[in-house]
Amino acid sequence: MPKKVAAVPKKNEKSKKIVLAADPMGASLRMQLKKHLESEGYEVIDYGTDCAENFVTYFGISAKAAKAIQQGLADKGIVFLRHRGGRWNYSE
């Protein structure tokens, strides 16, 4: 079976595919951003987590988002991580 290849935007065409992910403490912020991005016309791939009670590791969720970009499913990603006494870290 041939490998699926993502469509590459033309030179002047702005891509609108983005992946979002968060650890349990970032779930609320991720959901707010998702609503905003969708209202702006972005196609959002959401890797959760769904709520603070649904435990995932930050490195696991970050790797999942990075792999989606590597595979061409999204062009950019934002991962929300909260650790070490409440500081927010994010990567784009």
Rounded (5°) CA angle 61-10-39: 55
Q: What is the pLDDT of residues 49-76, one digit of tens each?
A: 765 556 666 778 888 899 999 999 999 9
More confident residue, 18 or 15: 18
Element (H, E) at 68: helix 58-70
Tell me if 12 is assigned to some domain: no
Q: Is there a domain that residue 73 lies in?
A: yes
| 22 within a domain of the structure (yes/no) | yes
Any domain includes 66: yes
- For residue 49, say if its preceding peptide bond is cis, omega within 30 degrees of 0: yes
**Model confidence at 90: pLDDT above 60:** no
Type of residue numbered 16: K
Which residues are CB-contacts of 67 (< 8 A; sequence separation ≥ 6)?
Answer: none
Cα–Cα distance between 15 and 32 in angstroms, integer?
21
End-to-end Cα distance, the chain = 32
Read off the pTM.
Answer: 0.70
Q: What is the CATH number of the domain that holds 35?
A: 3.40.1400.10
- Does the structure show a pLDDT above 90 at 23? no
Confidence at residue 1, expressed as pLDDT on a 0 to 100 scale: 45
Total domains, the chain: 1
Could you tell me the residue range of the domain that residue 56 belongs to? 17-85
Region 84-88 average pLDDT: 51
